[in-house]
């Protein structure tokens, strides 16, 4: 995490892994995720450009549901601003993701996993991010917990076992500043707004919408966040598994700063590739200059005084 000026936005290639086969066996889930990361990083065996950044979905190492979180939770022990040793990490998932990021030579946004904090004894839904050298460089704990009740359709209560994170997070690469969020976080424009104002050119949220809200809101919310912040916006979902307790919508996608969906898949396991072009970002902001037309004399700047990553 850096509070310095954002890196110059350069073209890069992104790959989203819409991961399937997420079952009860965590070691098998991790093994499959690592195989798919290597496949994505190879550009699908050379048919696609090698990605600079690879992304996994929300809750990729365990079944999704509040009863599973305490069973699968791992201690990570990452503290922003402090050095972190992957070798000494108590987390099997951190060790595996670090090793595969290094082997593949890519930035890796490792979806999210249930995390147990040994200090406050609480559980979080946490993303971890790795550099191509395999260093753990950032985490994001889902801020807004998925507690909804649509009678006859879907009732879900993450807060039965999870606690919401208290920080807004991004990470810097040599090609962009990337803002983080997880799934339900997309419904809260303030989070995206703050990261965009802090210089993020790209926002990526691992997510797992469902068959009720997915068809209505998954694409709409991403296009809304892309347009209102004039950033690239992307969400990476698990594949749909109708034999699992939670049925994910799938449709992992990438939206450009004009709100155009530039890459998308259906609901099976797949890898979505996208080329991220800063020209679209600069053209959107030059042509529709809302980023310089804000009226902070009429309403407050929500990013004012927010320390990202703290």
Ligand X SMILES: O=C(O)CCC(=O)C(=O)O
Our answer to whether residue 190 is catalytic in this structure is no
How far apart are the C-alpha atoms of 179 and 176, rounded to whole Å? 10
For the question of residue 58 being annotated catalytic, the response is yes
Minimum distance, C-beta of residue 79 to ligand X, in the bound complex (Å): 25
CA quadruple 127, 133, 135, 141: dihedral, nearest 10:
-10
- State yes or no: residue 72 binds ligand X (CB under 6 A): no
Among candidates 61, 59, 78, which has minimal Cα distance to 125?
59
- Residue 275 as a binder of ligand X (CB under 6 A): the answer is no
User: Cα(168)–Cα(306) distance, rounded to whole angstroms?
Assistant: 8
Beta-bridge partners for 109: 55, 129
Q: Residue 222, CB half-sphere, CA atoms under 13 Å: how many?
A: 32
Q: Is 183 in the site for ligand X (CB under 6 A)?
A: yes
CB of 40 to ligand X, least distance (A): 22
- Among 56, 62, 59, CA closest to 18: 56
Per the CB < 8 A criterion, the answer to whether 257 and 231 are in contact is yes
Point out the catalytic residue in the list 34, 59, 183, 236: 183
- 29 touching ligand X, by CB under 6 A: no
- Ranges of beta strands (E only) in the chain are 12-18, 53-55, 107-109, 113-116, 123-130, 136-141, 147-150, 154-157, 170-172, 177-180, 202-206, 232-236, 253-255, 261-264, 270-276
Of the residues 73, 108, 208, 231, which one makes contact with ligand X according to CB under 6 A: 208
In terms of Cα–Cα distance, which of 123, 127, 5 is closest to 72? 123
Give the nearest distance from C-beta 67 to ligand X in angstroms: 15
> Looking at beta carbons only, is 16 or 34 nearer to ligand X?
16
Q: Fill in the per-residue mask, 136 to 165: x = in contact with ligand X (CB under 6 A), - = not in contact.
A: ----------x-------------------
In whole angstroms, how close is the CB of 144 to ligand X at the nearest point?
Answer: 8
Residue 76 main-chain phi, psi, to 5 deg: -105, -50
Give the active site residue among 142, 158, 219, 236: 142
Please tell me whether residue 187 binds ligand X under the rule CB under 6 A: yes
In the DSSP assignment, the letter for residue 205 is E
Please report whether residue 237 would count as binding ligand X according to CB under 6 A.
Answer: no
Task: Give min distance, CB of 17 to ligand X, in A.
Answer: 17
Q: Is 183 a catalytic residue?
A: yes
The closest of 62, 25, 21, 10 to 270, measured between CA atoms, is 21
Of 44-63, binders to ligand X (CB under 6 A) are: 58
Shortest CB 187 distance to ligand X, Å: 5
* Window contacting ligand X (CB under 6 A); options: 12-20, 26-34, 131-139, 179-187: 179-187
For residues 149 and 297, which CB has a smaller minimum distance to ligand X in the complex? 149
**Residues binding ligand X (CB under 6 A):** 58, 146, 183-184, 187, 208-210, 213, 217
What amino acid positions are annotated as catalytic residues?
A: 58, 142, 183
């Amino acid at each position: 995490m850096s509070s310095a000026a954002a890196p110059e936005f350069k073209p890069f290639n992104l790959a989203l892994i819409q991961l399937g086969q997420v079952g009860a066996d965590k070691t098998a889930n991790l093994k499959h995720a690592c195989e798919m990361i290597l496949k994505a990083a190879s550009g699908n065996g050379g048919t696609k450009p090698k990605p600079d950044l690879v992304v996994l979905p929300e809750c990729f190492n365990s079944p999704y549901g509040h009863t599973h979180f305490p069973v699968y939770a791992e201690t990570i022990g990452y503290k922003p601003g402090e050095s972190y040793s992957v070798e000494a990490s108590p987390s099997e998932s951190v060790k595996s993701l670090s090793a595969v990021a290094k082997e593949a030579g890519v930035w890796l946004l490792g979806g999210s996993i249930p995390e147990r904090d040994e200090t406050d004894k609480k559980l979080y839904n946490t993303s971890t991010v790795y550099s191509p050298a395999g260093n753990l460089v950032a985490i994001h704990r889902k801020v807004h917990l998925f507690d909804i009740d649509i009678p006859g359709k879907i009732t879900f209560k993450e807060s039965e076992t999870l606690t919401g994170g208290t920080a807004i997070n991004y990470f810097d690469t040599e090609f962009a500043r990337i803002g983080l969020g997880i799934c339900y976080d997309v419904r809260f424009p303030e989070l995206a707004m703050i990261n965009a104002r802090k210089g993020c050119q790209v926002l990526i949220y691992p997510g797992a919408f469902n068959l009720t809200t997915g068809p209505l809101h998954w694409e709409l919310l991403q296009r809304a966040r892309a347009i209102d912040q004039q950033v690239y916006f992307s969400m990476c979902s698990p594949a749909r598994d109708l034999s699992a307790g939670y049925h994910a919508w799938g449709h992992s996608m990438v939206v450009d700063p004009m709100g155009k969906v530039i890459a998308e898949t259906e609901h099976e396991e797949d890898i979505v590739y996208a080329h991220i072009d800063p020209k679209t970002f600069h053209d959107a902001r030059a042509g529709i200059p809302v980023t310089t037309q804000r009226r902070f004399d009429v309403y407050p700047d929500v990013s004012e005084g927010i320390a990202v990553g703290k």
